[in-house]
């Protein structure tokens, strides 16, 4: 352990300890070997901005991954090498019409095209262990809606055709309960999942607040499922983590007769929307778009994966999901590779996924979409709203490229995209004007995501250390042809392969999942191997292809006449 030696190192070490949830940090410790990843690196950069009044690119933490090295960078910036490029984010008055953010504007437009669609519902199911205090839960949900303006916001047309958001002073919430104790125990869980899926598919009317629903399924006296559905226009994946955590804290406090333990919020999503509209224009927008224009110039219009059925003329949203699990051993091997190569698990998994797509499609130029939290400022980390942005990450695979070389390329591409993540995807599509095809989404048709937010734990009634256990709800939709949606839970990485059921059979998705795991095992164990020689087949498939399907021997019968073989064939 090497203690901080100057004020810059002291402040940086304190920031690292806060972000990584450690008691202390040595100035020689590597950020990523301590458990850091891109999302936590973004939080470090936002705190550095606030503490030192300097602007560091995310790349700086990858290039200087120790407190000592980063402190030298910060001191250099402090001498005037870089300057702040963005205006401060401050609260705006609520006296006039409040604009939508760019992302909200796109969802508003899509909702007008397909009103009543559940396509952008975000469903959550949380298993509650222990007795349920319904009054405390309803009060917690009500407090949550009052705390976050986005949850009591509705959206309306103005006379000029522009949409505005209206924040209601208060909306009343109720949490209805459906009792399933009368359902036979053998089918109770199945019925609960069916009801959860029905709830997930109920549409919202964006002109009616709140754009959040909550209900409870009672399985037994000690087991309940809390269903929460929110529209994407006011929330995102990070926000769902906030909602789960805060409802747990509020429920625990209200169950024990205590007041809310949550500190008031200084900013709300409407403040962010106004800030984004204010600075991301003219030269600031042009600089950001210019990088993306160069990055995506000449990218293919479509990823031509082999499908089980012809592609419908208009893109559909019918979907299914398939579980993917790397297991503890492969996860540990993946982490070891990442530390050796100076990349994150996100970059390594994205590389493997892009190789799989290249091998299936026969293309060597692959563009994959990936959501990014887009919370680059510490002031907005605790706000519920639609902050998430989407990045188009391109990989160009050459004939002799190894997996190690692809990792280096993906790292550079990803860090560049992080630096230019401020351009909303909707704005990027408007600026680049890609060839439009109603049967496909623009720029990419396949998505990859890795959630690093961990598992959600919250207090229960009577102070029990019970778990608010998130459950997977299959909404029956797919926004893209394929989506690999992973979660990093520490000891293991797992998740879902979401596929469009109008294109792919479940059996095809299952093979893709198996091939991805096989490819990743080979790449982790031999990153110097050619991308095109990394095996996709596991031992069972290899035996089937090479042995079982080639076992074509037949018993031979002696023939004594010239016409005998013809007669036998007939």
Q: pTM of the predicted model, to two decimals?
A: 0.82
Q: Look at residue 352 in the predicted model and tell me its pLDDT.
A: 97
Structure tokens at 266: 């200084």
Residue 446: strand pairing partners: 482
Q: Look at residue 564 in the predicted model and tell me its pLDDT.
A: 83
Residues in the chain, total: 570
Q: Look at residue 155 in the predicted model and tell me its pLDDT.
A: 94
Distance separating alpha carbons of residues 193 and 554, to the nearest angstrom:
50
Q: Where do the domains of the chain lie, and which CATH numbers do they carry? A: 7-81 (1.10.1200.10), 98-269 (3.30.559.10), 284-539 (3.30.559.30)
Q: Look at residue 409 in the predicted model and tell me its pLDDT.
A: 97
Which H/E stretch holds residue 569?
helix 564-569
Distance separating alpha carbons of residues 224 and 322, to the nearest angstrom:
25
Distance separating alpha carbons of residues 439 and 479, to the nearest angstrom:
12
What does DSSP assign to residue 239? H
Instruction: Name the strands in the sheet holding 121-129, side by side, starting at the edge strand that comes first in the sequence.
Output: 177-179, 212-220, 223-231, 121-129, 468-471
Please report, in tens digits, the pLDDT of each residue of the chain (570 residues total). Answer: 889 999 999 999 999 899 999 998 999 988 988 888 888 888 898 888 888 888 888 888 888 899 999 998 888 876 544 444 678 889 999 888 888 999 999 899 888 888 888 889 999 888 888 889 999 999 999 999 999 999 999 999 886 778 899 999 999 999 999 999 999 989 998 999 899 989 998 999 999 999 999 999 999 999 999 999 999 999 998 898 899 899 999 999 999 999 999 999 999 999 999 999 888 888 888 888 999 999 999 999 999 999 999 999 998 888 999 999 999 999 999 999 999 999 999 999 999 999 999 999 999 999 999 999 888 888 899 999 999 999 999 999 999 999 999 999 999 999 999 988 888 898 898 888 888 888 999 999 999 999 875 443 333 333 333 445 556 666 678 889 999 999 888 788 988 999 999 999 999 999 999 999 999 999 999 999 999 999 998 888 888 888 888 888 877 766 678 888 888 889
Three-class SS string for 154-178?
EEEECCCCCEEEEECCCCCCCCCEE
3-state secondary structure of 399: coil
Q: Look at residue 456 in the predicted model and tell me its pLDDT.
A: 37
Instruction: Name the strands in the sheet holding 365-372, side by side, starting at the edge strand that comes first in the sequence.
Output: 319-325, 493-500, 482-488, 446-451, 365-372, 389-396
Long-range contacts, 308-312 (Cβ 8 Å, 24+): 308/503, 308/504, 308/505, 308/508, 309/502, 309/503, 311/439, 311/440, 311/503, 312/439, 312/502
Structure tokens at 195: 């009801």
Asked, as a colleague might, if the bond just before 92 is cis with ω within 30 of 0, I would say no
């Amino acid at each position: 352990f090497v203690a901080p030696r100057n004020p810059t190192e002291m402040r940086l070490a304190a920031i690292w300890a806060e972000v990584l949830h450690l008691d202390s940090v040595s100035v020689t410790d590597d950020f990523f070997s301590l458990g850091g990843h891109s999302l936590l690196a973004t939080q470090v950069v936002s705190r550095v901005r606030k503490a030192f009044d300097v602007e560091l690119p995310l790349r700086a933490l990858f290039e200087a991954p120790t407190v000592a090295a980063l402190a030298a960078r910060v001191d250099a910036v402090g001498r005037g090498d870089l300057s702040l490029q963005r205006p401060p984010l401050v609260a705006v008055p609520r006296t006039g019409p409040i604009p939508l953010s760019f992302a909200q504007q796109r969802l508003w437009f899509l909702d007008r095209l397909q009103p009543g669609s559940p396509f952008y519902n975000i469903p959550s199911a949380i298993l509650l262990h222990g007795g349920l205090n319904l009054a405390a839960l309803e009060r917690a949900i009500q407090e949550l809606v009052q705390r976050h303006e986005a949850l009591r916001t509705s959206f309306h047309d103005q006379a000029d055709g522009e949409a505005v958001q209206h924040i209601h002073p208060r909306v009343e919430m109720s949490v209805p309960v459906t009792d399933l104790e009368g359902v036979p125990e053998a089918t109770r869980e199945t019925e609960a999942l069916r009801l959860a899926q029905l709830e997930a598919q109920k549409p919202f009317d964006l002109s009616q607040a709140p754009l959040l629903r909550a209900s409870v399924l009672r399985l037994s006296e000690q087991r309940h499922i809390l269903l929460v559905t929110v529209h994407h226009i006011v929330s995102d994946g990070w926000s769902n983590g906030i909602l789960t955590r805060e409802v747990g804290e509020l429920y625990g406090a209200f169950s024990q007769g205590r007041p809310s333990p949550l500190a008031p919020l200084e900013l709300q999503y409407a403040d962010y929307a106004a800030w984004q509209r204010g600075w991301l224009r003219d030269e600031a927008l042009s600089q950001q778009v210019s990088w993306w224009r160069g990055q995506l110039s000449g990218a293919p219009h479509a990823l031509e994966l082999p499908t089980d059925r012809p592609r419908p003329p208009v893109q559909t949203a019918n979907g299914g999901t398939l579980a993917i699990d790397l297991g503890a051993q492969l996860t540990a091997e993946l982490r070891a590779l990442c530390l050796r190569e100076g990349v994150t698990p996100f970059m390594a998994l994205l590389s493997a996924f892009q190789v799989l797509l290249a091998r299936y499609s026969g293309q060597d130029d692959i563009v994959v979409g990936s959501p990014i939290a887009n919370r680059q400022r510490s002031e907005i980390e605790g706000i519920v709203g639609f902050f998430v942005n989407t990045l188009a990450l391109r990989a160009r695979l050459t004939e002799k490229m190894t997996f190690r070389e692809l990792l280096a390329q993906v790292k550079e591409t990803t860090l560049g995209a992080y630096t230019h993540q401020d351009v909303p995807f909707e704005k990027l599509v408007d600026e680049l004007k890609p060839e439009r095809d109603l049967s496909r989404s623009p720029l990419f048709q396949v998505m990859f995501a890795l959630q690093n937010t961990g598992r959600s734990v919250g207090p229960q009634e009577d102070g029990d250390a019970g778990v608010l256990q998130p459950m997977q709800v299959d909404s029956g939709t797919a926004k893209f042809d394929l989506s690999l949606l992973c979660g990093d839970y520490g000891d293991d990485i797992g998740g879902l392969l979401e596929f469009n059921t109008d294109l792919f059979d479940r059996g095809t998705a299952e093979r893709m999942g198996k091939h991805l795991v096989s490819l990743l095992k080979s790449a982790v164990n031999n990153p110097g191997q050619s991308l095109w020689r990394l095996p996709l087949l596991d031992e069972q498939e290899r035996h089937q292809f090479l042995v079982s399907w080639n076992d074509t021997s037949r018993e031979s019968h002696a023939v004594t006449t010239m016409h005998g073989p013809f007669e036998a064939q007939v």
